[in-house]
Chains A and B, each alone.
Chain A
């Protein structure tokens, strides 16, 4: 995915965040989301290494090696921020105190099952904190490319890869579409230009209901 596409996905995901929320962002595309939030919106960003209240990236030369996010990259803090150990960070997560998490994905099923941590025999990086975030966060948003590098659908009837968590995903945002996971199955709510509904249906490996209020995003 080119930079433009990654940013477009991040921009759309930013619209899901509301004033007053507690939010944990995964690495990759999710980390771009703060760039697209309206000025003055009060969001407490949590990092599972032990920060609540992360701010913008520091200017070059102003980095503090002891103030980093969970991916090891320098951050700043906002007024009202706190530091704590990582057991406390995961207490917040497991107790269900995080309003939204935005994670990357390898596969999402029509039930909202998420696979995002390993490809057996190829890539086994370990699950990190993804399993707890996916299972325990109030709203789980997955941002990813709609199809794999080989052109295979990543939204499928059943995940073939090992699961991170079952029935945890609420919303999928890709370079082609926005899809809600509902009790009645997957609901296509937005299509991203230049793709049309037919493209999205053809590139999805599960049944899609089309929302009556379907929007096209230019």
Chain B
């Protein structure tokens, strides 16, 4: 079997990669209820002790899964998410005013992330128009007689994603429903770090099957695997 090279210098140690995750930064993390979140990167970010994070993620996962521990230990100053229902500690922190939460409907959140990753200035949506919280401070734009809310794009200092396979250029292939928000989150990071199950030599991935082109990926680290117990286990 061919061993993957490091032709583009993107394959790095985990310590080197997460050096970019600093106190007060905006951190975007792939995954949906923890499924498809990068376990090794999140553990290292947690152990590094960074705090005052602005976290952008589909949800706050479960207290012991995915981004859950960062939230639980008060490392997150503000969360931009679609729900916090599966993490009761996130709910308590929000109610006690210890963590700011910006809710976005799920499909709008991911489209804002896509817009950020696609270099767009915003998106026009008709979801949440008459909701006091969700429409607050957002311009109304009329197009051909229809009214829309202007939702702003989201980008991050660092994006963390999880994929099944990468090649040394950073081309990514995901695993089943663990794909979820990862391809969009990968596009929206100023620096994107991909944690992957396997690194294969250049040329081994079929170009037809690549979901995230490596241009969006700056660093690649090898996963140590999931270190939490799933809610269903």
Contact = CB atoms under 8 A, between A and B. Distances in A.
Interface in B1-48: 32-36
A86 B110 contact: yes
Interface in B70-123: 81-86, 91, 94-95, 101, 103, 105-108, 110-111, 113-114
B165 interface: no
B103 A126 contact: yes
A33 B181 CA distance: 27
Interface string A61-90: 001111111111110000000011111011
A67 B176 contact: yes
Contacts of B59: 126, 128
A38 interface: no
Interface residues of B, number: 52
B35 A72 contact: yes
Q: Which of A51, A85, A130, A166 has the most CB of B within 10 A?
A: A85
Given A68-B177, A87-B184, A126-B83, A48 B35 contact: no
A135 B106 CA distance: 13
A124 B132 CA distance: 14
A128 B16 CA distance: 35
B85 A126 contact: yes
A66 B130 contact: no
Nearest to B86: A72
Contacts of A130: 105
B207 to A, nearest CB: 18
B33 A72 contact: yes
Interface stretch (B140-148, B198-206, B214-222, B225-233): B225-233
Majority-rule SS of A interface residues: loop
B105 A67 contact: no
Contacts of B54: none
Contacts of A91: 107
A167 to B, nearest CB: 11
Interface string B160-183: 000010000000001111111111
Contacts of A124: 84, 91, 94-95
A85 B36 CA distance: 11
B213 interface: no
B159 interface: no
Contact of A90 (B81, B110, B182): B110
A126 B33 contact: no
Q: Which of A48, A85, A86 has the most CB of B within 10 A?
A: A86
B135 to A, nearest CB: 12
B83 A87 contact: no
A91 B125 CA distance: 12
A91 B182 CA distance: 16
B91 A125 contact: yes
A126 B101 CA distance: 9
Contact of B177 (A51, A135, A162, A166): A51
A93 interface: yes
Nearest to B164: A66
B76 to A, nearest CB: 15
Given A51-B177, A72-B231, A126-B84, A131 B35 contact: no
Given A68-B35, A124-B91, 4 more contacts: A94-B107, A131-B127, A132-B107, A132-B127
30 contacts: A48-B106, A49-B180, A65-B178, A66-B164, A66-B177, A68-B35, A70-B33, A72-B32, A72-B34, A72-B86, A83-B177, A85-B211, A86-B106, A87-B113, A89-B107, A90-B107, A125-B83, A126-B82, A127-B103, A127-B106, A127-B134, A128-B82, A128-B83, A128-B85, A129-B105, A131-B127, A132-B106, A162-B131, A163-B130, A163-B131
Interface of A: 47-51, 63-74, 83-87, 89-91, 93-94, 123-132, 135, 162-163, 166
